[in-house]
Amino acid sequence: MKRRTWILSALGATGALVVGWGVMPARSRLGSPELMLPTQGDIALNGWIKIAADGAVVMAMPRSEMGQGVHTSLAMLVAEELDVPLGRVRLEQAGSDKIYGNVAMLVGSLPFHPLESEGEHKATKVKVGEWVVGKIARELGLNATGGSSTISDAWGPLRMAAATARASLLGAAAAQWKLPLAELSVKDGVVSHASGKSAHYGDLAKLAAGTAPGAIAVKERKDWKLIGKKAPRTDIPAKVNGSAQFGLDVRLPGMVFAAVRMSPMLGGTPAALDAKAALALPGVERVVSLDAMGGSTAGFAVVGKTTWHARQGAHAVDVKWQQRAQGALDSQKIEDGLLAALKSEKGFAFYDKGAIDDAESKAARVIEATYRAPYLAHATMEPMNCTAQVKDGEVEVWAPTQVPQMARAIAAKVAGVDIENVVLHVTLLGSGFGRRLEVDFVAQAVRVAMDCGGRPVQLAWSREEDTTHDFYRPMHVASLRATLDAQGAVNSLRIKSAGDAISPRWFARAIPVLSGPLDMPDKTASEGLFDLPYGFAHQHMSHVATRMDVPVGFWRSVGHSHNAFFSEGFIDELAVETRQDPVAFRRALLKDAPRYLAVLNLAAEKAKWGNPLPAGHAQGVALHESFGSIVAEVVEVSMQDGKPRVHRVVCAIDCGTVVNPDTVAQQMESAVIFGLSAALYGKIDIKDGVVQQTNFPSYPMVKLADAPVVETWIVPSSRTPGGVGEPGVPPLAPALAGAMFALTRKRQRALPLLT
């Protein structure tokens, strides 16, 4: 079977989800007013929008704020359609209904080549695939913040919900005043008429409730007043004055605190445990055994009067640990196994174009290279934590989570109650990067709370536990081969990669019922390799999916984070081998990819590529598409004491329609620093089953003094929005490696670049 035929058949195998879809109408995501939280004086108009008595707008917020600015950007969409000032939009946590599910995130997981998915010429197979997965996603209603998908998912439903509310309010005013609807106008949430009649939204909400306006249309681009304009982040004041509530800020009457110790050997268990010394310490209350819940490693938690008391108690427990039954994990042996898999296994072909075998057999020259990338931890600013209370058959949870439904589900499972008996409060997240798509820490907190007599307990991991018990970005390797024809032009490119696939492991932990039907070739393993925009006549990209038993999870930009290093690094090699400038070489290969070419040209122009640089400086470039956005980065580097010093990073991005330009710039700056830390230092080593890196001294980050100047340039676009939280990460490492090669003539094919 052809690859896409097989994928669509596998999607259809999800059974009941697709029965009858041929005749079912598309389901609206507008939702009924009953889905909004009932609050005194507020009138809900649909599942997204309420109107307060003072005329303010209350919006249901389904996505988690972890510094990416979505609380501001989504509020901007609502403020735009309702013609209210941004400051008049208030947020409340969305409920658990399926209308709040993230459809765009799952649709974005389809392994289609981006050049097959462009505008009017979108391939039929892509349309069918997106329709099928969109239906599955709509029926699942999985509420998750990930995949840089928040704006793209909300772009249609949220604007339509706000536009529908606006139409209902205007209709109510027209009916009450007995005036033509066309003669009414709205400014700052006040409906008015030339006759002098006016009323704010709060005055009209009761009349508007339950009405069903006719044809609804969102604003045209020419009428936008907020979208596309810089707007201050609405979450910043609370973060500055200290009133913002992150997970570790939760304080409740009678609350106790818990610290965890898990087996230092991944997958290990406690063989013997003596808690006498710990329980004798002041402020230490109890020790609770923890099984491997939510994918975590087994261990125990100590409950105390404060976090300090709990941690002192945890250190005082005398415990003997034992390895997992399958034997100790070792990252060097895993790398050796992956390299062997490249040679011995065929892998799954994600993309095939032309006649690769014929091109290779007739090649005048062959260029080959092997690239490697290590395991990486997330190292979120706020370590894993959760507050839970189990009392009278009810569970209440306060958690910094990217997946609220899954957090509720694991809480219900651990406590043995129906999910309707779980109340979840989503706090602000002290960064997520994909780590908080897991719910292991929620499971632990609920388990400990069950032993605390109805009192709330805040469970917090130390930085050491956080670093050594992560769901790591998987280790991957890749072999790349290109051929040159008799004229010296590159005419074929073959890439084979090997490494663990994330999505099947995540589904098995998160939604076990779907782990079978959705255990198919995982796009995240090969993204950034099979979907290159370059016009090589013959291409073949495959991946060998492995199961190395190290817990793996989604990490900022996922497969793109290492695959861009592989692909763009090799593109740079090809430019050098064919004696071409790296930018000019890419330009020649992008004749059929004008969006990519425009981004590359903008970055090169703003970085003054090819112009003289200060003595001892060099530039490197990389171009990469991920999460619906195209990013080119030019990195300016010098070598100081044998180490690279990054002075400047120029970023150009085409992310479709921009809601808030400031957010785009902030996310690109964040991505550069995040990507630079990983490129220079990021590495998780496992020896005898134990992760060797424990805290920032052994898992360092880029410090303020070493941070480069970052410039962001946005390509104007009328396309629907793409992502901005992750696309800035992938180009950084290959661009940096290219600049280092220009200075040292030494090719770097393994991360991190400093070892």
pLDDT in tens, 444-473: 999 999 999 999 999 999 999 999 999 999
**Residues 260-296: tens digit of each pLDDT:** 999 999 999 999 999 999 999 999 999 999 999 888 9
Query: Is 592 a residue whose pLDDT tops 50?
Result: yes
Question: So what's the pLDDT on residue 264?
Answer: 98
- Which range, of 19-33, 70-84, 548-562, 650-664, averages the lowest pLDDT? 19-33
When pLDDT is cut at 50, 70 and 90, the band that residue 512 belongs to is confident
Question: So what's the pLDDT on residue 123?
Answer: 79
Whole-angstrom CA distances from 563 to 475, 490, 531 are 11, 20, 11
Token pair belonging to 27: 């389901």
Residues whose CB is less than 8 angstroms from the CB of residue 663 and which lie 6 or more positions away in sequence, other chains included: 68, 69, 72, 73, 233, 724
Q: Are 745 and 620 in contact (CB under 8 A)?
A: no
Domains of the chain: 31-102+141-240 (3.30.365.10), 247-325+384-460 (3.30.365.10), 331-376+472-744 (3.30.365.10)
Give the 3-state secondary structure of 156-185.
Answer: CHHHHHHHHHHHHHHHHHHHHHCCCHHHCE
How many residues are given for the chain?
755
Question: So what's the pLDDT on residue 10?
Answer: 44
Question: So what's the pLDDT on residue 116?
Answer: 79
Q: Where are the beta strands (DSSP E) in 57-188?
A: 57-61, 89-93, 185-187
Q: Higher pLDDT residue, 188 or 212? A: 188
When pLDDT is cut at 50, 70 and 90, the band that residue 28 belongs to is confident
Query: Is 17 a residue whose pLDDT tops 70?
Result: no
When pLDDT is cut at 50, 70 and 90, the band that residue 516 belongs to is low
Q: How far apart are CA 646 and CA 744, in angstroms?
A: 15
Question: So what's the pLDDT on residue 14?
Answer: 42
Q: How far apart are CA 282 and CA 285, in angstroms?
A: 9
Instruction: Give the residues across from 709 on adjacent strands.
Output: 648
Which residue is associated with the tokens 């509310």?
A: 165
Q: How far apart are CA 548 and CA 473, in angstroms?
A: 12
Mean pLDDT of 515-528: 81
When pLDDT is cut at 50, 70 and 90, the band that residue 510 belongs to is confident
Residues whose CB is less than 8 angstroms from the CB of residue 197 and which lie 6 or more positions away in sequence, other chains included: 173, 177, 179
Question: So what's the pLDDT on residue 683?
Answer: 98
Q: Higher pLDDT residue, 513 or 406? A: 406
Mean pLDDT of 174-181: 97
Q: How far apart are CA 185 and CA 182, in angstroms?
A: 8
Token pair belonging to 54: 């003072």
Judged by DSSP in three states, 195 sits in coil
- Which range, of 133-137, 379-383, 531-535, 563-567, averages the lowest pLDDT? 133-137
Edge-to-edge strands, sheet with 198-200: 185-187, 190-192, 198-200
Whole-angstrom CA distances from 543 to 129, 264, 459, 498 are 21, 31, 39, 6
**Pairing verdict, β 617-626 and 538-546:** unpaired
Mean pLDDT of 617-643: 97
Question: So what's the pLDDT on residue 214?
Answer: 85
- Which range, of 75-84, 234-243, 410-419, 515-524, averages the lowest pLDDT? 515-524
Question: So what's the pLDDT on residue 20?
Answer: 44
Question: So what's the pLDDT on residue 518?
Answer: 55
Question: So what's the pLDDT on residue 623?
Answer: 98
Q: How far apart are CA 571 and CA 591, in angstroms?
A: 16
Instruction: Give the residues across from 550 on adjacent strands.
Output: none
Mean pLDDT of 238-253: 97
Phi-psi label, residue 322: left if phi above 0, alpha if psi -120 to 50, beta otherwise: beta
Mean pLDDT of 334-342: 98
Instruction: Give the residues across from 262 on adjacent strands.
Output: 299
Helices (H), 581-693: 582-589, 594-606, 661-680
Token pair belonging to 310: 């709990």
Question: So what's the pLDDT on residue 755?
Answer: 80
Question: So what's the pLDDT on residue 2?
Answer: 45
Q: How far apart are CA 615 and CA 154, in angstroms?
A: 48
Question: So what's the pLDDT on residue 12?
Answer: 43
Question: So what's the pLDDT on residue 22?
Answer: 46
Cβ atoms within 10 Å of 132's Cβ, excluding its own? 20
Q: Are 230 and 660 in contact (CB under 8 A)?
A: yes
Mean pLDDT of 665-670: 98
Burial 32-47 (b: 16+ CB within 10 A, else e): ebebbeeeeebbbbbb
